[in-house]
Structure 1
Amino acid sequence: MNLSQLGVPIGQMTRVHGGFANRMYRLDTDQGSFAVKELNLADRRWTYHVEDVFRFEQAAFAAGIPMPEPIAADHGTLVHRWVEGETVPEEPASAAFAFEIGEILARIHALDVAWPHPPAEEPTPRDWPELAARAVATGQPWADELAAGVGTFLAIADFVDTCERPGPVVLTHKDIQPWNLLARDGRPVVLDWELSGLLDLSGELGSTALSLAKGPGLDSVRPAVFRSVLDGYVAGGGTLPPFGPSWFVFLIGGWLGHTRWNIVRCLAGVEAGTGPDLALSHESARDGVRGLPNLFGRLAELQHLLG
C-alpha cells in the first residue's frame, strides 16, 4: 500500500509488538497517527475477505460503534486511525464494562450489511499423534505435555465436529477478547475486525462473555460478569439463542486450530517474516497444550453459567 495518502511522516514508522496473527506498526504524520497492520498472508488458516471486512467496519463506524476509524485497505494492509487507550487485562471485567460489550454486540448484529461469503468452516485438526511425535523428536519444550494429551485433543476434535449449532447465524466481529479491546475513559473500544464474518450467535456470545468473565485460567470465572454480557445484549435489542454446549464450541474449536497453527510454526523452527514472532508462537502453543484440556474438561461446569 502507498502510505503517502496518510501525510508527511514525522519520524520512522515503529512496530508495536504483541499481535497473535499479524504485525502492527504506528505511523505518525502531519495528518495524525495511524495503525498500519501488515496482514500475514503466508500461512493463514483461512482466506481474508479484506474488502468486505473494510466495508463492514465502515458501516459499524458510521453507526457509532466505538472502534478506530477505518482509513484504507488493500489485499495485505489495513490502516486505521490510531486510538489512545488502556489495554484491557486478561482478568474479570467490571459488570458495567461487560454490559456495554453486550450492547455493542447487539448493535453490531443489527447492522444491515450484505456478506457474500458462507460461514468459514476450518477443517478440524486430527493429526495430533503425528504432531506430538514430531514435537518429541525435535525437543519442543511442551512436547511431553502434548504427547500425554493426544487422546484429549482427538476428543475435542470430535466435540467440535458433532456439536449442534442452533442458530441464528449473524454477521459479527467473531473475536471480541480482552486483547482486542481498549478501555478509553473506562469504556470499551473494539479493535481488530479482520476475522469478521458469519457465525452462530451462541458461539459469539459464549466466547465473548467467558473471555470477559475470567482471568488466564478458569479458576476466576465470575458468573455475574458473564451474565452482564448477556443482559447488555438483551438491553441492546438482541435475543438470546437456546442455551447449551454450542455456546462454547466456537471458542474451543478456534483455540484448537490456533494451537495447531502455532505448533506447526514452532516445529518449523524458523523466525517467519510475517505473523507472530517465534517466541510468541511457543507461548501460544504451550498455553493451548495446557489450557485446552482443562477448558474441555470443565465444559459441563461452564454450561452452568448459562442458568
Structure 2
Amino acid sequence: MNLSDLGTPVAPMVRVHGGFANRMYRLDTDQGSFAVKELSLVDRRWTYHVEDVFRFERAAFGAGIPMPEPISADDHTLVHRWVEGERVPEAPVSAEYGFEIGEILARIHALDVAWAHGSIEERASRDWPELAERAATTGQPWADELASQVETFLAIAHFVDSCERPGPVVLTHKDIQPWNLLAREGRPVVLDWELSGMLDLSSELGSTALSLAKGPGFDDIQPSIFRSILDGYVAGGGALPPSGPSWFVFMIGGWLGHTRWNILRCLAGVEVSTGPDLALSHDSVRDGLRGLPVLFGRLPELQELLLR
C-alpha cells in the first residue's frame, strides 16, 4: 500500500480487528488520523465498483451525511478520515437514534448520483448437500449442524430467488448494521460503504430496521424501534413501500451468501493474508447455521409484528 500522500507517520500503522470481510488499520500521520481498509483480494464475493462507490461516498459526504470523509480508493485499498466514536452494540438502539437513521436513509436515497450498474443479484447457490459432505469429510466442528440444516438452507435459497421485489429500486448503502455504525455524542455515523449499489427499497428498510431493533438473536425484537426507523424515513421525505416478505429477503440472502463464503474459507483451512481470520470465519459459520433457520422460520411473525 502506497500511503505516502497521507503524510509522515507519527506511529506504526495498527490493525483494528473485527472486520467480517476485509482488514482495517489505523494510520496516524502529521496530517491526521486515517482508516486504511485492505480489501479482501483472494476470494472476493462480489464485484467492487471502486470509482462509482467513491463518487457516491463523496456525494453523500458533501451532502452532510454523517460519515467518515472519503480520501482515496483503488482496487486494493480504501482510505477514510478516522472518526472517533462509540461502537454500536448488537442490541436495540434508542428510538431517537433509530429515527435519525431513517432520516439519513431518506437523504441518501434523494441524492442525485449516476450509477451505471443494475441491481442484478446472482442466484442463491444450491450446493448445500455437497458442502455438508465436505464438512463431514474434513472434520469441521460444525459439520453435524450443517448436515441437519441442508433442507432448510435449500428452502432459504429457493425463497431468496423466488421472492417478488415490489420496488422502487434505489441507490443506497445496503449494509447499515450495528457493526457499520458509530455513535458520536449519541448520534449516528455511517461506516463501510463498499457494498453500495442499487437495491429494492423494501429490502434496504427491512434489513436496516430489523438489525437495529434486535439483539444478537431474535428473542429481543422491539417493534417500536423498528417503527422509529420507518417514521424517520417518512419524516425525511421518503415513502414506504408495501409490506411483505421482500422486506427481509435481502437480509436473508446476504446472510446466506456470507455463511457459504465462510464455509468455503473454513473448508480450505488456510489462514489467508486478506479477509477475516480463520477463527472469525468459523464463528460466522456457526452464527449462520444457527441464526438463519430461526430468521427464516419467523418470517410470517415478523411481517405481522413489525409491518402492521
TM over 0.5, yes or no?
yes
The residue number in structure 2 matching 1:306 is 307
Q: Deviations over 1:188-211 (max 9, x none)?
A: 000000000000000000000000
- Aligned partners of 1:152 and 1:87: how far apart in 2? 33
* CA deviation vs aligned residue, 1:226-269 (integer Å, no higher than 9, x gap): 00000000000000001000000000000000000000000001
Q: For the residues of structure 2 that align with 1:125 and 1:248, how far apart are their CA atoms?
A: 18
Unmatched tracts of structure 1, length 5 or more: none
Question: CA offsets, 1:3-30, max 9 Å, x none?
Answer: 1111100111110010000000000000
Match in the other structure for 1:232: 232
Q: Distance in 2 between matches of 1:92 and 1:74?
A: 35
Is it true that 1:12 corresponds to 2:12 in the alignment? yes
Residue equivalent to 1:127: 127
* 2:151 equivalent in structure 1: 151
Q: Secondary structure at the match of 1:285?
A: helix
Residues 239-250 of structure 1: pairs in structure 2 closer than 5 A:
239-250=239-250
Q: Distance in 2 between matches of 1:34 and 1:260?
A: 32
Aligned CA RMSD, in angstroms, stands at 0.7
1:96 positional shift: 0.5
The percentage of counterpart residues that share the same residue type is: 81
8 Å CA contact 2:66, 2:188 repeated in 1 = yes
Question: What is the distance in 1 between the residues matched to 2:136 and 2:120?
Answer: 32
Superposed CA offset, 1:175-227 (max 9, x none): 00000000000000000000000000000000000000000111000000000
TM-score (norm 2): 0.99
TM-score where L is the length of structure 1: 0.99
Q: Counterparts of 1:190-205 in structure 2 under 5 Å? A: 190-205=190-205
Quick one: distance in 1 between partners of 2:186 and 2:40?
31
- Name the counterpart of 1:101: 101
* Structure 2 contact 123–161 (Cα < 8 Å) conserved: no
Give the whole-Å Cα distance in 2 for the aligned partners of 1:44 and 1:3.
Answer: 23
Distance 1:128 1:2 in 2: 41
Cα pair 1:71 1:79 within 8 Å, conserved: yes
Matched, 1:214 2:222: no
Distance 2:42 2:163 in 1: 31
Total equivalences in the alignment: 307
Q: What's the secondary structure of 2:34's corresponding residue?
A: strand
4+ runs deviating over 2 angstroms: none
Using the alignment, how far apart are the partners of 2:19 and 2:185 within structure 1?
24
- Identify which range, 58-67 or 136-145, moves more after superposition: 136-145
Answering whether residue 253 of structure 2 is matched by residue 263 of structure 1, we say: no
Kept in 2: contact 1:46–1:122 (CA 8 A): no
Query: Is the counterpart of residue 51 in structure 1 residue 51 in structure 2?
Result: yes
SS state at 1:71 partner:
strand
